Structure 1
Amino acid sequence: MKPFTFKYFEIQQSKEVFRVGTDGVLLGALADVTKVSSVLEIGTGTGLISLMLAQRNTSASFLGLDINKEAVLLTKTNFEQSPFHLRLKNIHQDLKAFQTGDKFDLIVSNPPYFEESGSDKDKIARQTIELNFQQLIESSVKLLSDQGIFSVIIPDEAGSSFVQVASENHLFLRRKINIKGIENSKTKRLVLEFSLTESRLEESDFVIEKSPRQYSDQYLELTREFHIFKRKG
C-alpha cells in the first residue's frame, strides 16, 4: 500500500493493519501532551498517534502496545524511520495481560468500538472482540500516574456509556471535544479526556469540514504542522 506522508515522518501502511484515518489524526493533534514525560498508546495500529504526539512533545518517552503482530511490525518500521525513534518503543502485547511497575502520564487510545459482527474487515481494530470499553478503562486506571490523563476518541453514541464506566472506575471527565464532520451537522466523534482527580469540565466543538471536501479553518490550523496540503490553482 502507498505510504502516507506527513511533514516530518512517513507512515508505511498495510492491508493487514487499520490505515491512517481522520480519527487517529484528530487524537494525535488534540490529546493533551503538555507536561507529560511518559506516554502509553493502547492499540498502535500504524503508530500514527504516538508519532504525532512525539512531534508535539520533544522530550516524552513512548510505549505502544498492540495485539496484532502485523501492526507491531509495521509500527516498529514507522518508529525506526522517524526522527523521534530514540524515544519510541512498541511491543506485541495484549493489554489485559500487560504487567509493568511503570505509571504513565498520558494513556491514549483510538479503541475498537463496533460490537462483534460477521465482517472480517479490520476485525481486531474495529470490533470489540479482543478489547471492550470496560477492559480498556479498568486496565488504564491501573497504569495511570496520579496526575495522568487518559485520552480516547470514540463515536458520539458511545459517549454516555463510556463516561459512565469511567466514572464507576473513579475516572473523572475533564475535557470533551465534540467532533462534527461538517458545519451544522450532528456530532460524529468525541475526544474524551479523564483524570483521577475531579476538575471543572472543559467542553468545545470542532468542525472538520466547512463544506464537502473543504477543510475548515479549525482543522487546517490544528494539523498545519503535520499534513502536507496541496496548494490549489
Structure 2
Amino acid sequence: MKPFTFKQFEIQQSKNVFRVGTDGVLLGALASVDDASEVLEIGTGTGLISLMLAQRNPNAEFLGIDINEEAVNLTKQNFENSPFHSRLKNILQDFKTFQVDSQFDLIVSNPPYFEISDSVKDKIARQTVELNFSQLISKSSKLLSKNGIFSVIIPVEAGNDFIKLTQENQLFLIRKINIKGIETAYTKRLILEFSLTDKDLKESEFVIEKSPRQYSDQYLELTKEFHVFRK
C-alpha cells in the first residue's frame, strides 16, 4: 500500500491496519501537547498521532500501545524512520492489562466507536469490542499526572455518553472542539479534553472544508507544518 508522506516523516500503511485519516490528523494537530513531558497514545495504528505530537513538542517522550501486532510492527517501522525516533517507543499491549509505574501528562486516543462492521481491521480498530469507552476512561483517569490531560476524538453522537462516563471517573471537561466536515453541515466529530482539575471550559468550532474537496483556510493553517499540499 502506498505510504502517506508528510513534511517531516512518512507513514507506511497496510490494508489490515486503519489508515491515515482526517480524525487522526486533527487530533495530532490539536491535542494539548505543549506542556507535556510524558505522552501515552492508546491504539497507535500507524503511529500517525504520536508522530505529529512529537513534531509539535520536541521535548516530550512518547509511548504508544496497540493490541494489534501488525499495527505495532507498522508503528515501530514508522517511528524508527522518523527524525523523532529517539523519543518514540511502542509496545504490543492490551490497555486493559497495561501496568506502569509512571504517570502521563497527556493521554491521547482516537478510540473505537463503530458497533458493527464486516471489516477485520475495523473489528479491532473501530468497534467497541477490545476496549469500550468505560474501560478507556477508567484506566486513563488513573494514569494521568496531577496536571495531565486526556484527549480524544469521537463522533458527536457519542459525546454525551462519553462525557457522563468521564464525570463518573472524576474527570472534568476542559476543552471541546466541535468539528464540521463543511461549514453548512452539522457537527460530526468532537475533540474532547479532560483534566483531574475543574477549569473553565474552552469551546470552539473547526471546519474542515469550505466546499466539497476544498480545504478551509482553518484546516490549511492548522496542518501547514504537516501536509504536503499539491499546488
Consecutive aligned runs of 4 or more in structure 1 exceeding 6 Å deviation: none
Q: Do 2:16 and 2:121's aligned partners in 1 also have CA atoms closer than 8 Å? A: no
Paired position in structure 2 for 1:163: 163
Matches of 1:189 and 1:148, distance apart in 2:
23
Q: 1:168 to 1:221 in 2, by over 3 A?
A: same
SS of 2:7's equivalent in the other structure is: coil
SS of 2:161's equivalent in the other structure is: helix
Report how far residue 184 of structure 1 moved: 1.4
Paired position in structure 1 for 2:50: 50
Q: Percent same amino acid at aligned positions?
A: 76
State whether structure 2 residue 228 is matched by structure 1 residue 228.
Answer: yes
Paired position in structure 1 for 2:193: 193
Matches of 2:35 and 2:120, distance apart in 1:
40
Paired position in structure 2 for 1:86: 86
Report how far residue 12 of structure 1 moved: 0.2
Paired position in structure 1 for 2:148: 148
SS of 2:72's equivalent in the other structure is: helix
Matches of 2:27 and 2:87, distance apart in 1:
19
Report how far residue 186 of structure 1 moved: 0.1
Matches of 2:119 and 2:35, distance apart in 1:
41
SS of 2:70's equivalent in the other structure is: helix
The one-letter code sitting in structure 1 at the alignment partner of 2:107 is: I
Aligned length, in residue pairs:
231
Paired position in structure 2 for 1:203: 203
Matches of 2:119 and 2:7, distance apart in 1:
35
Q: 1:29 to 1:133 in 2, by over 3 A?
A: same
Q: Do 1:43 and 1:65's aligned partners in 2 also have CA atoms closer than 8 Å? A: yes
- Deviation track 1:19-54 (CA, whole Å, cap 9, x = no partner) reads 000000000000001111000000000000000000
The one-letter code sitting in structure 1 at the alignment partner of 2:191 is: V
The one-letter code sitting in structure 2 at the alignment partner of 1:25 is: V
Report how far residue 120 of structure 1 moved: 3.3
Paired position in structure 2 for 1:135: 135
Report how far residue 123 of structure 1 moved: 1.2
Paired position in structure 2 for 1:106: 106
SS of 2:230's equivalent in the other structure is: coil
Matches of 2:120 and 2:147, distance apart in 1:
39
Paired position in structure 1 for 2:2: 2
The one-letter code sitting in structure 2 at the alignment partner of 1:228 is: V
Report how far residue 116 of structure 1 moved: 4.2
Matches of 2:120 and 2:108, distance apart in 1:
25
The one-letter code sitting in structure 1 at the alignment partner of 2:28 is: G
SS of 1:122's equivalent in the other structure is: helix
SS of 2:152's equivalent in the other structure is: strand
Gap regions ≥5 residues in structure 2: none
Q: Do 1:116 and 1:129's aligned partners in 2 also have CA atoms closer than 8 Å? A: no
Report how far residue 114 of structure 1 moved: 1.2
Matches of 2:48 and 2:20, distance apart in 1:
7
State whether structure 2 residue 109 is matched by structure 1 residue 123.
Answer: no
Matches of 1:41 and 1:91, distance apart in 2:
11
SS of 1:65's equivalent in the other structure is: strand
Paired position in structure 1 for 2:31: 31
Matches of 1:139 and 1:125, distance apart in 2:
18
- Deviation track 1:129-153 (CA, whole Å, cap 9, x = no partner) reads 0000000000101110010000000
Report how far residue 119 of structure 1 moved: 4.6
Matches of 1:18 and 1:7, distance apart in 2:
21
SS of 1:8's equivalent in the other structure is: coil
